[in-house]
Amino acid sequence: MSQFRTKHATRTHLPHLMSNVPDEHQEPIKKMCLKMMSHDAYGKPYEWTSRDFEMGAPLGRGKFGRVYLARERHSHFIVAMKVMFKEEVRKGNVQRQVLREIEIQSRLKHPNILRLLTWFHDDSRIYLALEIASEGELFKHLRNAPNHRFDEPRAAKYTYQVANALNYCHLNNVIHRDLKPENILLTSTDDLKLADFGWSAHTPNNKRKTLCGTLDYLPPEMVDGHSYDDSVDQWCLGILCYEFVVGNPPFESSNSEITYEKIRRLDVHYPSYLSSGAKEIIAGLLRRKSQGRVSLVDVMTNQWIKDGMAKRAAQLQQHFNDGCKENLARN
Ligand SMILES: Nc1ncnc2c1ncn2[C@@H]1O[C@H](COP(=O)(O)OP(=O)(O)OP(=O)(O)O)[C@@H](O)[C@H]1O
C-alpha cells in the first residue's frame, strides 16, 4: 500500500489542529503533531505503529471498521483510531474505497472535514488515526431531537458548515457523493465534521457516470444514469437541509421504485411549519437541472442561513450561561 502514501501536513497546518489546545499543553502536543506529520516532509519518515497508541473504549462500528478512543503514548493526544481488518476489506471488495478514503481525507484540510492525522498498517490490520469528534454521528442527534428534527437556527448553522466543507472539496476537485447525517460527525463545540470519503471521487474536469450514494439522496441525473458533476453535492445538501428541518428525507418511501419516481417528479412536500426562508433554500438546491441549483457560496451568504447562525450562537451562549449558573448554585 506504500504507493498510496500522500503528501502530509507541514508546520503551517498546525494552527488549525492546535486551536483548542490549552496553553499548558501546547508544547508536548505540538511536538507530537509535528512527529505525526513528519513522514516524507522531513526526509526521515516516522513509521507509526499500534504500539505508539494506547487503545481505549470503542466509539463505534462501521461495516469494515471498529473505531476506538486512542491516546498517543508520549503526548497523550487523543485520536479516534479506526481499525480495519485487511481480510474483511478484501472479502468485502472495498480496497478501492479504503484507499480513496485514505488518499482524499489525508489531503483535505478544512475545519469542517474530519482530519486523517496519519495511517499505518501491519500484517492483518489497517489503522487510521482520525481527529476526534466526541459527539459522534449527527444522525443520532437528529433522531434524539424533539420530533426528530432540528430547529431552524441549528439546521441553518449545520447547512452552512456542510456547504463550506463541500465548497472546499469542489475547489480541490473532490465530489463527496455520499452526504447524509450518518456520514457527518459532531464535535463537543457543536461543529460538524464531514467524514466517510469512501465514495467520493477525484474529478479533474470530466463528468462521471458511476452510480453510488444512498437512495434517498440520489439526484435525478444519477437516478437516470446520466453523467454528473459536482452539483450532485448541492442536491444532496438540499436533501440534508430538508432532513434537518423535517426529520426525514423528502423522497423517502418503503419502495425504491417509488423513491426513484418521486425524485424524477421532484415530488417534495413542504410542511406548513417551515419558514419561507427554509423552503426557499431547499427548493433552490433541489432543482432538477443541475446548472440551476443554488451555488454553495450563495448558500453560505443566504439570509436564512446568516440569521439562523446568529440565533444558534445566541442559543449556545444561553446554554453556557445556564450551565454556569447551575454550577454556581451547586457549589
Ligand atoms: N473521528 C471520530 N470521532 C468520534 N467517533 C467516531 C469517529 N469516527 C467514527 N466514529 C464512530 O464510529 C462509528 C463507525 O465509524 P466508521 O467510519 O467505521 O463507519 P461508518 O462510516 O459509520 O460506517 P460504514 O463502514 O458503514 O461506512 C461512527 O458511526 C461513529 O459513531
Give the global pTM.
0.83
Enclosing domain of residue 114? 44-130
User: Strand runs (DSSP E) across the chain, as ranges?
Assistant: 53-61, 65-72, 78-85, 116-121, 125-130, 136-137, 174-175, 184-186, 192-194, 201-202
Q: Which atom of ligand 1 is nearest to the CA of 134?
A: 4
Residue 201 among known ligand-binding residues: no
Spacing, Cα 66 to ligand 1 middle (Å): 8
- Tell me the CA–centroid distance for residue 239 and ligand 1, in Å: 21
Quote the mean pLDDT of the chain: 86
Residue 86, pLDDT > 90, answer yes
Contact 198, 189 (CB under 8 A): no
Cβ distance 191 to 111 under 8 Å? yes
Do both 217 and 76 map to the same domain?
no
Whether pLDDT at 215 is above 50: yes
Cβ of 78 below 6 Å from ligand 1:
no
Q: What percent of the chain has pLDDT over 90?
A: 61
- Give the atom of ligand 1 at the shortest distance from the alpha carbon of 131: 1
Count, in order, helices (H) and strands (E) of the chain. 12, 10
Distance CA 275, CA 293 (A): 20
Residue 16 is predicted with a pLDDT of 66
> Is residue 175 situated within a structural domain?
yes
Residue 76, in any domain of the structure = yes
Q: Are residues 58 and 103 in the same domain?
A: yes
CATH number at residue 88: 3.30.200.20
Interhelix angle 303-330/152-171, rounded to 10 degrees, is: 120
Q: Under 8 Å CB-to-CB from 317, ≥6 apart: which residues?
A: none
* Ligand 1 atom at minimum distance from 61 CA: 14
Same structural domain, 109 and 195: no
| For residue 232, pLDDT beyond 80 | yes
List phi, psi (to 5°) of 203: -130, 80
Mean pLDDT (whole number) for 245-249: 96
One domain, residues 71 and 178: no
Buried b (16+ CB within 10 A) or exposed e, 6-17: eebbeeeebeeb
| Given 178, 216, 230, 233, the catalytic residue | 178
Kindly provide the b/e burial profile for residues 148-185, where b requires at least 16 CB atoms within 10 angstroms of the residue's own CB. Answer: ebbbbbbbbbbbbbbbbbbbbbbeeebbbbbbbbbbbb
Residue 266 has pLDDT above 80, yes or no: yes
Q: Which residue, judged by its Cα, is nearest atom 18 of ligand 1?
A: 62
What is the model's pLDDT at position 169? 94
**Do 181 and 305 sit in the same domain of this protein?**
yes
Question: Residue range 41-57: average pLDDT?
Answer: 80
Same domain, 121 and 141: no
74 plus 107 within the same structural domain: yes
Residue 147, annotated as binding a ligand: no
Classify residue 113 by its DSSP letter. B
What integer pLDDT is reported at residue 243 of this predicted model? 96
For residues 289 and 248, state if they share a domain: yes
DSSP letter for 8, please: P
| pLDDT higher than 70, residue 98 | yes
Does 118 lie in the same domain as 141? no
Residue 128 · residue 116 · CB < 8 Å: yes
Residues 176, 233: contact at Cβ < 8 Å?
yes
In a domain, 18, yes or no: no
Length of the chain: 331
Residue 101 lies in a domain: yes
For atom 1 of ligand 1, which residue has the closest CA?
Answer: 132
- To test the ligand 1 pocket, which listed residue (137, 176, 193, 199) has its Cβ within 8 A of the most ligand atoms? 137
User: Which has the minimum average pLDDT: 4-8, 105-109, 117-121, 235-239?
Assistant: 4-8
Residue with cell 441525473: 221
CA 57 to centroid of ligand 1, rounded, Å: 14
| pLDDT of 44 strictly over 60 | no
Distance CA 282, CA 235 (A): 9
The whole-angstrom separation of Cα 19 and Cα 45 is 26
Rg (CA), the chain: 21
What is the pLDDT at residue 331?
56
User: 215: closest CA among 188, 236, 187?
Assistant: 236
For the chain, how many structural domains are there in total?
A: 2
The H or E element that residue 258 is part of is helix 256-265
What gap in Å lies between CA 53 and CA 83, rounded to an integer? 12
